[in-house]
């Protein structure tokens, strides 16, 4: 899977898709939707669709696709490669949402929660398939939030398509299982090949599973939190796990209208630039990118 576009810029979102099989434009098709990486504090969330003609659904089932969470990494990679080989009747598309995009959406002035982001991303991928000429007649979706309201929303947007939204759809419908595999393979590859722009921080890739309850992940977050600029862009800084570490490991911010008792013990921002202690602080990339250096005299 070619994620070079994401590697060039992993701050936003990246859409990838296979060529559309000719048969999928002619015959009625089923389409499945699933995601990978909704819960982790590290890395992107990936939404995927997979589609094939209804007449070839048995051929997709014959690949023995299954919920990606029940498969090993090698099994997922093998099945994705097999779907690539069967590109004469199987198509897929992905939307990779960066940690930065997820967190800035959730913490923006106008709140955009993860469920809404997920719903809109799934809708966008279904529309992408239709725009590409895929003759979609049935859609199966693994639910996010209440299945009934989600299904009603999708059905209203796509009135000419029969929509089914169910919990555990990735275990019930092979076309959703296939989408689940595509999403998981893409996310795993994105995390493994993540291009850190924070090169001066001596970042390591020993971050465990990336889930909030993983002690290894928490230890990595504590090692790599910058006291003023926060976390590397691999981190979803809106997650409670990340926020808790910022509260204990990063510098406090005191606003002009803060109560006096809140300001007691707070350090001045100028202390950040003074390189306190036996080792001088290495300049953050914010200063390097802008060619800024400390001024010793005015």
State residue 280's pLDDT score: 54
201 close to 283: Cβ distance less than 8 angstroms: no
Largest CA distance in the chain: 77
Element (DSSP H or E) covering residue 48? strand 45-53
287 close to 293: Cβ distance less than 8 angstroms: yes
Element (DSSP H or E) covering residue 97? strand 91-97
Give the separation between CA 271 and CA 278, rounded to whole angstroms.
14
List Cβ neighbours of 174 (8 Å cut-off, separation of 6 or more): 32, 57, 60, 61, 65
Give the separation between CA 67 and CA 61, rounded to whole angstroms.
12
Cα–Cα distances (Å) from 3 to 36, 187, 191, in that order, read: 16, 10, 11
List Cβ neighbours of 248 (8 Å cut-off, separation of 6 or more): none
142 assigned binding-site residue = yes
State residue 285's pLDDT score: 65
122 and 29 inside one domain = yes
Q: Domain for residue 170, yes or no?
A: yes
187 and 210 inside one domain = no
Q: Domain for residue 46, yes or no?
A: yes
The count of structural domains within the chain is 2
Give the full edge-to-edge strand order of the sheet including 136-142. 13-17, 91-97, 45-53, 29-36, 136-142, 162-166
Q: Domain for residue 263, yes or no?
A: no
54 and 77 inside one domain = yes
Q: Domain for residue 265, yes or no?
A: no
Q: Domain for residue 242, yes or no?
A: yes
Angle at alpha carbon of residue 191, lines to 251 and 2, rounded to 5°? 140
Per-residue pLDDT of the chain (298 residues; tens, 9 = 90+): 788 787 788 888 999 999 999 999 999 999 999 999 999 999 999 999 999 999 999 999 999 988 888 899 999 999 999 999 999 999 999 999 999 999 999 988 888 899 999 999 999 999 999 999 999 999 999 999 999 999 999 999 999 999 999 999 999 999 999 999 999 999 999 998 888 877 656 788 888 889 999 999 999 999 998 888 889 999 999 999 999 999 988 887 776 665 555 555 555 555 555 555 445 556 666 666 667 776 665 5
Q: What is the CATH number of the domain that holds 205?
A: 1.10.10.460
34 assigned binding-site residue = yes
- By residue range, what is the domain housing residue 104? 3-193
Burial 18-40 (b: 16+ CB within 10 A, else e): bebbebbeebebbbbbbbbbeeb
Q: How many CB atoms lie within 10 A of CB 3?
A: 20
146 and 24 inside one domain = yes
Query: Which pair of tokens denotes residue 120?
Result: 């809109």
């Amino acid at each position: 899977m070619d994620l070079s576009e994401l590697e060039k810029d992993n701050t936003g979102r990246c859409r990838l898709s296979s060529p559309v099989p000719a048969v999928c434009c002619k015959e009625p098709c089923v389409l499945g939707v699933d995601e990978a990486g909704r819960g982790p504090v590290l890395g992107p969330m990936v939404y995927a669709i997979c589609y094939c003609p209804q007449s070839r659904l048995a051929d997709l089932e014959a690949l023995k696709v299954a919920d990606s969470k029940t498969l090993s990494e090698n099994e997922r990679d093998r099945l994705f490669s097999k779907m690539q080989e069967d590109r004469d009747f199987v198509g897929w598309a992905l939307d990779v949402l960066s940690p930065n995009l997820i967190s800035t959406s959730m913490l923006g002035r106008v709140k955009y929660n993860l469920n809404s982001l997920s719903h809109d991303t799934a809708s966008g991928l279904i529309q992408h398939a239709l725009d590409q000429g895929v003759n979609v007649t049935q859609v199966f979706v693994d639910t996010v939030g209440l299945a009934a309201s989600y299904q009603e929303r999708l059905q209203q947007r796509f009135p000419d398509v029969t929509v089914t939204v169910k919990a555990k759809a990735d275990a019930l419908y092979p076309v959703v299982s296939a989408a689940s595999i595509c999403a998981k393979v893409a996310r795993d590859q994105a995390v493994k090949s993540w291009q850190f722009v924070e090169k001066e921080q001596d970042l390591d890739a020993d971050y465990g599973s990336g889930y909030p309850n993983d002690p290894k992940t928490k230890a990595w977050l504590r090692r790599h939190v910058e006291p003023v600029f926060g976390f590397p862009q691999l981190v979803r800084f809106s997650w409670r796990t990340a926020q808790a570490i910022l509260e204990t490991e990063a510098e406090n911010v005191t606003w002009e209208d803060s109560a006096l008792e809140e300001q007691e013990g707070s350090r001045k921002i100028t202390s950040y630039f003074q390189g306190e202690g036996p080792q001088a602080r290495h300049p953050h990339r914010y200063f390097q990118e802008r060619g800024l250096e400390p001024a010793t005299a005015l």
